[in-house]
Amino acid sequence: MKDPRTSALAIVLWAVALLCIAQPSLALPAAGAAGTGAVALAAVRLRTRRRASGLVVLTLLCAAAVGVVVAGAQPARAALTASDGRVVEAVVHVSSSASMGSDDRLWFDARAIALGAPGAPEAVDAAVRVGAPDIAGADMGARLRVVGQAKSTSPSEKAGLVIFGTTAEVVRPATGVFAIAAATRAGFVARATRLPEPGAGLLPGLAVGDTRAVSEELNAAMLASGLSHLTAVSGANCMVIVAAVFWLVSLAGGGRILRVVLALAALAAFVVLVTPEPSVVRAAVMAALAMLSILLGRPSAGLAMLSLTVSGLLVADPWFAASPGFALSAAATAALLVLSRPLLRGLGRWMPAPLALALSVPLAAQVVCGPVIALFSPQQSLVSVPANLIAEPAAPIATVIGLLACLAAFMPPVADLLAAAAWLPAAWIDRTATVSAALPAATVTVAPGPIAALTVGLLSAAIVIVVVTRRSRRLRAVSVGIIVIALAAAGGRMLVSGPLATLTAPAKWAIAACDVGQGDAVLLHSGRRVALVDTGPDPDALRDCLSQTGVARVDLLVLTHFDLDHVGGASAVVGKVGDVLHGPVTEDRERRMLHELAAAGATLHDASAGLSGALDGARWHVLWPDADPVVFPSGNDASVVVEIAGGGIPRTLLLGDLGAGSQRLLLASGRLRGRYDVVKVSHHGSRDQEPALYAAVRAAVALISVGEENDYGHPRPETLALLESDGTRALRTDRRGLILLGLDRDELLVWSTRAPPPG
């Protein structure tokens, strides 16, 4: 696996499995201490060595099995590489649930049975990941025909190819049990979403793991508050199903065999209903093994069950090791089995027993899952434990009653009544997530990766030691020191990014390229007025930029086009905007966004060439698109292009995501006149550029707004070479962070939050 984060996830999972396997052998010396004499001690040592040798052999056997599985998948993956970067037609079998992505596509895992050039796909058999337009019938078991651009993936991903679909059709709908499950889910989602917000969109996620009705704002709040696991069907849901069946069968007088058989059948039906995601598979297999052990009259310890489940699933499907959901599910289960009791005893020394009991479970999960989350997520929740403490009591109620409402679809009055009953706890969880995520310092931003994971892991270990350990004063003192240092660092960072944020930036900046990841957000400052061109993909990142630059209100907001990497952060400025210039509107999502801005007081304007205005002492002009575009009616090539100059702002050209074809038309229009001081490079520095335009602009500085990690290779080496050949200095947000430009006696000054790497 090339990505160190996915490699680290694999290490976490194997560590869980092997430590659980090793647990009995680690306990042997304590058991042997009761024996007498050297003979007993020698026997214990011999058994320990044998167990250790067995563990090594088992590890090697597992590694060999994984190698066989991975090697067997390589021919199919290799056959997909020829489609990289091409437009393809694929016939696929859907093999997972579908979730709505930030690009308004339905994303799901699938098995491709035909793939190739449009109109001539050839037979294949390989795992792919598909993003299709939002169509009905994209359910597990359905067969779809998708046309779109294909991109190869890294070896750490099970799907050898990602298809960004532009068109899709259902060739054959799901049949059998999958059709029944899809219809049942769809009926429940429709019934739930007829209820009022908050809570309506969240209820299907709590009951059956269907998150398509969860808004982007609520999804972000669930992540920030550490409650997103409630909409991921896992062990808790499986436990509820098994316990309910055991209880009902026992009430009817059924014996142990009947209870186990019916519970297994119910569990299998539940997995089909919610679709077999990695965390669901782990939980279901573990529950099935536990029930079989009960059937055999030999109940096993939870650690042994977890070990067998994780090891077996990783051997059967090694790509589970790169699944964050699977890793978090396994880690959280291990945490509850190993840490919850010690934490309960430790917390019980400082607080009442009921409160200690309530805190021990979310705290155990948080300290173990925190380092795993830091591998792939740029934020750590600081309100996770109290938010879970408040929301957790409502989760099983919403889950059980919601599931009953789903299953009662054949009795509409009963289903409506149950759905309404489940709505109240769902609304409670919704409000808990929203309120806790809005608290000051609810999250802390980290650079995801192994270093962040090690840092969070060290802090987590220090917290556990302080709570649990009583004897070693030196160890407790070191742990307290680590916690104090972490709190001081976090407090200092909050001050710098909060009340003292403006002290970290020069006062006379004119242009600010915000560090918002893979997206665009550029501030323009003249006198007492500010313009914002695009909002980036993340509201929190934009808020940080506004705070650091001391911007409280945006007088002019330009939405160049409606890709989410340019407008996803718009909620951060709702109610703070005067005028809005926007490009062509084609979708309901775009209309809803503009309506929200207008309802909060903004004045909307369709932007087209010839429109102009003032920003205090500066003048701005729209150069593109034409009023009635024919060639490029929407999308990247219809991006609003603005030039601005004067009032302390150097002459600047902002190109949105304009492609090479539209750049040529813009150049031919004669609207670009003279030299510019600054150009915002189109489309994050992609290779879709027109060299003649940049040669005509001859800018001194080029701003490239780009994420540190992106799958597109932005900025492209060809684009950087093009800028260099024109004598233009490229400034990139992925290397410099927030970039500020200003004028001092006609000299262009540059300031950034990070020093650029050498070379």
Of the residues 76, 101, 120, the one at which a domain ends = 76
Cβ density class 438-475: b for 16+ within 10 Å, e for less: eeeebbbebebbbebbebbbebbebbbbbbbeeeeeee
Do 681 and 631 lie in a common domain?
A: yes
pLDDT at site 643: 94
Judge whether 490 lies within some domain.
yes
Residue % of the chain over a pLDDT of 70:
84
- Chain mean position to CA 485: 29
Asked if the structure places residue 181 within a domain, the reply is no
Does 96 share its domain with 132? yes
Same domain? For 119 and 93 the reply is yes
Q: pLDDT for 184-211, tens place per residue? A: 888 888 888 888 888 888 888 888 877 7
- Which CATH number goes with the domain that contains 95? 2.40.50.140
Whichever domain contains 674, its CATH number is 3.60.15.10
Residues 534 and 562 in one domain: yes
Are residues 589 and 514 both part of a single domain? Answer: yes
- Does 65 share its domain with 157? no
d(CA 23, CA 736): 47
Least Cα distance to 426 among 199, 223, 191 occurs for: 199
Q: Average pLDDT of the chain? A: 80
Omega of the bond leading into 4 within 30 degrees of 0 (cis): no
Quick check: 654 pLDDT over 60? yes
Quick one: 487 and 524 in the same domain?
Answer: no
For residue 654, what is the enclosing H or E element?
strand 649-654
Looking at 441, 466, 497, the residue that finishes a domain is 497
Among the residue ranges 317-326, 596-605, 663-672, the one predicted with the least confidence is 317-326
97 part of a folded domain: yes
According to the model, what pLDDT value does residue 633 have? 64
Beta carbons of 569 and 544 less than 8 angstroms apart:
no
Asked whether residue 34 carries a pLDDT value surpassing 60, the answer given is no
CA–CA dist 408, 416 (Å, integer): 9
Same domain, 505 and 464: no
Residues whose CB is less than 8 angstroms from the CB of residue 438 and which lie 6 or more positions away in sequence, other chains included: 221
Average pLDDT over residues 726-751: 87
Mean pLDDT, residues 522-536 taken together? 92
Pair 96, 110 in one domain: yes
Mean pLDDT of 266-295: 72
pLDDT in tens, 581-636: 998 888 877 888 899 899 888 999 998 888 999 998 899 999 988 877 655 667 78
Percentage of residues in the chain having pLDDT higher than 90: 14
Residue 575, sorted as left (phi over 0), alpha (psi -120 to 50) or beta, turns out to be left
In a domain, 193, yes or no: no
149 and 166 fall within a common domain? yes
Q: Which pLDDT band holds residue 32 (cuts at 50, 70, 90)?
A: very low
Is the pLDDT confidence value at 36 over 60? Answer: no
- 251: helix, strand or coil: helix
Higher pLDDT, 380 or 661: 661
Q: Examine residue 261 and state whether it is found in any structural domain, yes or no.
A: no
**Helix 450-468 / helix 353-376 crossing angle, nearest 10 deg:** 160
Name the residue range of residue 664's domain.
501-752
What CA–CA distance (Å, rounded) separates 523 from 512? 5
φ/ψ region of 252 (left if φ > 0, alpha if ψ in -120 to 50, else beta) reads alpha
618-624 β-sheet, strand order: 612-615, 618-624, 641-646, 649-654, 678-680, 701-704, 729-732
pLDDT tens digits for range 226-239: 887 777 666 667 77
Mean per-residue pLDDT for 692-715?
87
pLDDT for position 84: 79
> Between these two residues, 408 and 209, which has the higher pLDDT value?
408
Please state the domain count of the chain.
Answer: 4
pLDDT at site 1: 42
* Residue 682 and residue 568 share a domain: yes
Boundary of a domain, candidates 481, 497, 513: 497
- Residues 388 and 122: their CA atoms lie apart, in Å, by 50
- Proportion of the chain in helix, strand, coil states, percent, rounded to 5: 50, 20, 30
In a domain, 390, yes or no: no
Which structure tokens are listed for 189? 């989602």
**Would the pTM count as exceeding 0.85?**
no
Of residues 362 and 462, more confidence is placed in 462
State how far the Cα of 146 lies from the Cα of 140, in Å rounded to an integer.
15
Task: Name the nearest CA neighbour of 623 among 660, 565, 563, 663.
Answer: 663
pLDDT band at 443 (very low <50, low <70, confident <90, very high): confident
| Nearest-angstrom CA–CA distance, 273 and 319 | 23
Instruction: Assign residue 254 a region (left: φ > 0; alpha: ψ between -120 and 50; beta: otherwise).
Output: beta
Q: What is the residue-wise DSSP string for 611-640? A: -EEEETTEEEEEEES-SS-SS--SSGGG--
- With a cut of 60, say whether residue 26 has pLDDT above it: no
User: What is the distance in angstroms between the CA of the first residue and the CA of the last residue of the chain?
Assistant: 28
Out of 162-166, 199-203, 206-210, 574-578, which region has the weakest mean confidence (pLDDT)? 206-210
Evaluate whether residue 217 is within a structural domain.
Answer: no
Residue 679 CA to residue 700 CA, distance in Å, equals 8
- Please provide the DSSP assignment of 259-326 as one string: HHHHHHHHHHHHHHHH---HHHHHHHHHHHHHHHHHHTT----HHHHHHHHHHHHHHH-GGGGG-HHH
H helix or E strand, kind and range, residue 140 = none
559 with 467, same domain?
A: no
In a domain, 441, yes or no: no
What does the alpha-carbon distance between residue 547 and residue 753 come to, in Å, rounded to a whole number? 14
H or E stretch covering 746: none
According to DSSP, the residues that pair with 557 across neighbouring strands are 532, 580
Cα angle: 300, vertex 304, 305; to 5 degrees: 75
Task: Give the Cβ contact number of residue 606 at 10 Å.
Answer: 13
Residue 33's pLDDT is 45
2: pLDDT strictly greater than 50: no
Has residue 133 got a pLDDT over 90? no
- pLDDT on residue 372: 82
Q: Which of 380, 507, 344 is nearest to 452 (CA)?
A: 380
How many whole angstroms separate alpha carbon 561 and alpha carbon 658? 10
Number of Cβ within a 10 Å radius of residue 630: 6
CA-to-CA separations, 169 to 108, 128, 144, 146, in angstroms, rounded: 14, 17, 6, 7
Alpha carbon of 376 to those of 6, 9, 62, 317, 380: distances in Å?
A: 8, 9, 26, 21, 11
